[in-house]
Amino acid sequence: MSILESILTSPLGKKVTAKAGLAEPPVLRRGRVPAAGPVALASLPGGGIAADVLGHLGVETVEPLLDVADNRTPDEKGRPQPPRYTTRPGALVVDATGLREIPQLELIRQVLRPVMKGLEKSGRVIFLATEAEFVDGLEAKAVAQSIDGIMRTVGKELRGGATANLVLVGPDTRASDLASTLSFLLEGRSAFVSGQVWRVGPAKGDHDGSVSDRPFEGRIVVVTGAARGIGTSIAQTFHRDGAALVVVDVPAAGDALAKVANELRGSALQLDITAPDAGARIAAHVARVHGPDARIHAMVHNAGITRDKMLANLDEKLWASVLDVNLAAEMRINEVLLDHGQPGALASDGRIIGIASTSGWAGNKGQTNYAASKAGVMGLVWAMRDELADSQVTTNGVAPGFIETDMTAAIPYVQREVFRRTNSLSQGGSPVDVAETIAYLCDPASGGVDGQVIRVCGQNLIGR
């Protein structure tokens, strides 16, 4: 810790920073923890699916308060104030799937205004809408995009660790297809996911969409780069949720890897993922430890490296190593594991996860190679959605923003503090936030989430 950091994080220093406008960031609700307050459901005209989903999840809802003239009360100066909830709601779910006309957007405003200062800490505003491509008419398409703009702004205006996200509901989507997504968004698991938009459609496979606290019971999950940091957290999260873990890392990290494996009652595979036979060796290890009939439920390609240099100083070696580890290795491994008949391969309804990055979204000085690899992961995720359209396998990605790890702890304090604060939650994320998002995407009930890249960045200002 630098001297400056020691001073600024001391009790006196905290008072000073608070005066300077750098208040202590809110402590986020995390884990499989529902909101304390009630869930308000605004089922707007033409909607209804959100009510079905919440019913499916067994979540009881209350009517939202509406900011209309009749409901306002004057304050001491006689200015009309929006209605106030007697109990702070934990979440507001806005079902806007049926909105097609500009005047209808007013209905969203009416339900939002009372919650903007009325939500509990780490509250949630969750929008459901229909994607522009699936509505007819210019106005309807414009309205669909308006909802996107509303959500992003709400995310920035909310305080106290509250988040806003938008779920785009595809045609023929059933309530059961959306259950895992709403469960994730309502619980503490989505703590650091804010300002995001992703699609949910009809689920692949025949899972009934029921959610559970241990969805991976009896399922095998492989995590690369698991000896430390985010990878370890991913493994721990899957372990909590019932998975049998196979943790992979380079031979040089073998001792830390063995510790992770033993703590989680899993098994360790020392493997350089860039080896040409890496996929076959993963499958062979799974077959050896779990038997030839065993299949991988989820393959989490977490391993990644940085070799930062300004482009002016970047040689072909640093270029190639980053692209090979972060992107090409993943593709080679997938190709092998997608041969479902092979012992220890991916299950025919398996899950593949790639890790993108804010640098991939927005670019980052000194990281051309890294940005190339991480944007490549996003391209891969999107392409695999089409490639595997007829398969029950889903492919998704997460793009972490500023996450508090050993790696980011090495960034100088002031710079680190800036990175931390430049998002809607005014803080860095925790490795578990990335892990929770991955576990949600890998949930057997998440078969309707495919080809999506979700940013875990607290609505970082950088990138869209």
Partner 1 sequence: MPQSPGASLRNAVIVGGNRTPFVKSGGAYAAASNQDMLTAAIDGLVARFGLAGQKVDEVVAGAVLKHTRDFNLTRESVLGSALDPHTPAVDLQQACGTGLEAVIYAANKIRLGQATTAIAGGVDSASDAPIVVKEGLRRALLKASYARKPLDRVKAFTAVRPADLAPVPPAVVEPRTGLSMGESQAQTTAKWGITRQAQDELALASHRNLARAWDSGFFDDLVTPYLKVAKDKILRPETTIEALGKLRPVFGGQDGTMTAGNSTALTDGAAVVLLAEESYAREHHWPVLARVVDAQVAASDYVTGNEDLLLAGARAIPELLERNGLGLDDFTYIEIHEAFASTVLATLAALEQNGTGTVDRAKLNVHGSSLAAGHPFAATGGRIVATLAKMLAEKGAGSKGLISICAAGGMAVTAILEAV
Token representation of residue 348: 């025919």
Nearer to partner 1, 252 or 418 (CB): 252
The nearest distance, CB 275 to partner 1, in angstroms, is 7
**Smallest distance, partner 1 to C-beta of residue 277, A:** 10
Nearer to partner 1, 217 or 255 (CB): 255
At closest approach, how far in Å is the CB of 307 from partner 1? 20
379-418 positions binding partner 1, by CB under 8 A: none
Query: What stretches of 271-331 adopt beta strand conformation (E)?
Result: 296-301
Q: How far is the CB of 442 from partner 1 (least distance, A)?
A: 20
Q: How far is the CB of 261 from partner 1 (least distance, A)?
A: 4
User: How many whole angstroms separate alpha carbon 445 and alpha carbon 210?
Assistant: 6
Beta strands in 70-216 (DSSP E): 73-74, 80-81, 91-95, 124-129, 163-169, 196-200
Nearest alpha carbon to residue 301 among 276, 267, 324: 324
Tokens (6 digits) for 337: 């594991």
Nearer Cβ to partner 1 (19/265): 265
Q: How many residues sit close enough to partner 1 to count as binding (CB under 8 A)?
A: 27
Window 238-277: residues binding partner 1 (CB under 8 A): 251-255, 257-259, 261-272, 275
Contact string (CB under 8 A) for partner 1, positions 128-167, x = contact: ----------------------------------------
* Beta carbon of residue 148, minimum distance to partner 1 (angstroms, whole number): 46
- Residues facing 196 on adjacent strands: 165
Q: Which helix (H) or strand (E) is 319 found in, with range?
A: helix 316-323
Taking only Cα atoms into account, the Rg of the chain, rounded to an integer number of angstroms, comes to 23
Shorter beta-carbon distance to partner 1: residue 277 or 335: 277
Nearer to partner 1, 149 or 251 (CB): 251
* φ, ψ for residue 60, nearest 5 deg: -80, 140
Q: Is 217 in the site for partner 1 (CB under 8 A)?
A: no
Cβ-Cβ contacts under 8 Å for 399 (sequence gap 6 or more): 355, 356, 357, 358, 360, 361, 374, 378, 453, 454, 455, 456, 457
Report in angstroms how near the CB of residue 254 gets to partner 1 at its nearest.
Answer: 4
In 287-393 the beta strands, taken as DSSP E runs, fall at 296-301, 346-355
Residue type, 283: A
Q: Which of 456, 449, 390, 392 is nearest to 179 (CA)?
A: 449
Place of tokens 């209905």: 107
Copy the structure tokens of residue 181: 């997504």
Instruction: Closer to partner 1 by CB, 286 or 375: give it.
Output: 286
The phi and psi torsions of 300 (rounded to 5 degrees) equal -105, 110
In order, the DSSP letters of 9-63 are TSHHHHHHHHHTT-PPPPPPP-BS---SSPEEEEE-TT--HHHHHHHHHT--EEP
Is the CB of residue 458 less than 8 Å from the CB of residue 192?
yes
In angstroms, give the least distance from the CB of 247 to partner 1. 8
Active site residues: 370
Amino acid (1-letter code) at residue 152? R
Sheet holding 453-456, edge to edge: 267-270, 244-249, 220-224, 296-301, 346-355, 394-400, 453-456
* Nearest residue (CB) to partner 1, 111 versus 329: 329
Site string for partner 1, 280-319 (x = CB under 8 A): -------xxxxxx---------------------------
Give the residue with the Cβ less far from partner 1, 272 or 324.
Answer: 272
Binding site for partner 1 (CB under 8 A): 251-255, 257-259, 261-272, 275, 287-292
